[in-house]
Structure 1
Amino acid sequence: MRRIGEFDQEKSALKFWSFLKGQGIDSTLEKDDDDQKWSIWVAEEDNINRSIEELKEFLADPEAKKFISIATGPMEKAKIEEHEESPKPKRQGFKEYKLREKWASRDRSSGTLTLALIITCAAVYLLSGLGSNTELVGKFFISEKLDGRLSEFVAGEIWRIFTPMFLHFSFFHILFNMWWLHDLGSQIEKKKGPKHFISFVLILAAVSNLTQFWMEGPAFGGMSGVVYGLFGYIWIKCKYDPGDGFFLDPFASILIFGFLIYGFAGGGAGVANWAHAGGLLVGLAWGYGSALRWNLGKS
Structure 2
Amino acid sequence: MRRIGEFDQEKSALKFWSFLKGQGIDSTLEKDDDDQKWSIWVAEEDKIDRSIEELRAFLADPEAKKFISIASNTVAKTKDTENEQKHPTKRKSQGFKEYNLRERWGSRDRSPGVLTLSLIITCVTVFLLSGLGKNTELVGKFFISEKLDGQLSEFTSGQIWRIFTPIFLHFNFLHIAFNMLWLHDLGSQIEKKKGPKHFISFVLILAAVSNLAQFLVAGPAFGGMSGVVYGLFGYVWVKCKYDPGDGFFIDSFVAIIMFGFFIACFIGVFGGVANWAHAGGLIVGLAWGYGSALRWNLGKS
Q: TM-score, normalised by structure 2?
A: 0.91
Q: Secondary structure at the match of 1:248?
A: coil
Q: Secondary structure at the match of 1:267?
A: coil
Residue equivalent to 2:3? 3
Deviations 1:201-240 (A, max 9, x none): 0000000000001111110000000000000000000001
Residue equivalent to 1:78? 76
Deviations 1:122-161 (A, max 9, x none): 1111111111111110110011112212111111111111
Residue equivalent to 2:281? 279
Residue equivalent to 1:201? 203
Within 5 Å, give how 1:110-189 maps onto structure 2: 110-189=112-191
For residues 104 and 33 of structure 2, the distance between their equivalents in structure 1, rounded to whole angstroms, comes to 16
Q: Secondary structure at the match of 2:103?
A: helix
CA change 1:100–1:75 in 2 (3 A) is closer
Q: Please tell me the residue identity of whatever aligns with 1:118.
A: I
Deviations 1:226-268 (A, max 9, x none): 0000000000000011111111122321221111111111122
CA change 1:33–1:181 in 2 (3 A) is closer
Q: Secondary structure at the match of 2:273?
A: coil
Please tell me the root mean square deviation across aligned C-alpha atoms, in Å. Answer: 1.9
Within 5 Å, give how 1:1-299 maps onto structure 2: 1-69=1-69, 71-72=70-71, 74-83=72-81, 87=85, 98-299=100-301
Deviation, 1:48, is 1.8
Deviations 1:23-75 (A, max 9, x none): 23232323344444332222333332221111011112212111112x22x54
CA change 1:175–1:34 in 2 (3 A) is closer
8 Å Cα contact 2:210/2:280 also seen in 1: yes
Q: Secondary structure at the match of 1:291?
A: helix
For residues 192 and 236 of structure 2, the distance between their equivalents in structure 1, rounded to whole angstroms, comes to 13
For residues 47 and 224 of structure 2, the distance between their equivalents in structure 1, rounded to whole angstroms, comes to 37
For residues 84 and 129 of structure 2, the distance between their equivalents in structure 1, rounded to whole angstroms, comes to 62
Deviation, 1:200, is 0.2
Q: Secondary structure at the match of 2:39?
A: strand
Q: TM-score, normalised by structure 1?
A: 0.92
Residue equivalent to 1:92? none
Deviation, 1:83, is 3.5
For residues 11 and 3 of structure 2, the distance between their equivalents in structure 1, rounded to whole angstroms, comes to 18
Length, aligned pairs only? 291
For residues 224 and 63 of structure 2, the distance between their equivalents in structure 1, rounded to whole angstroms, comes to 58
Deviation, 1:272, is 0.2
Instruction: State which drifts further: 175-184 or 7-16.
Output: 7-16
For residues 102 and 276 of structure 2, the distance between their equivalents in structure 1, rounded to whole angstroms, comes to 33
Q: Secondary structure at the match of 2:116?
A: helix
Q: Secondary structure at the match of 2:132?
A: coil
Q: Secondary structure at the match of 2:220?
A: coil
Where in structure 1 do 4 or more consecutive aligned residues deviate above 6 Å? none
For residues 229 and 63 of structure 1, the distance between their equivalents in structure 2, rounded to whole angstroms, comes to 46
Q: Secondary structure at the match of 1:228?
A: helix
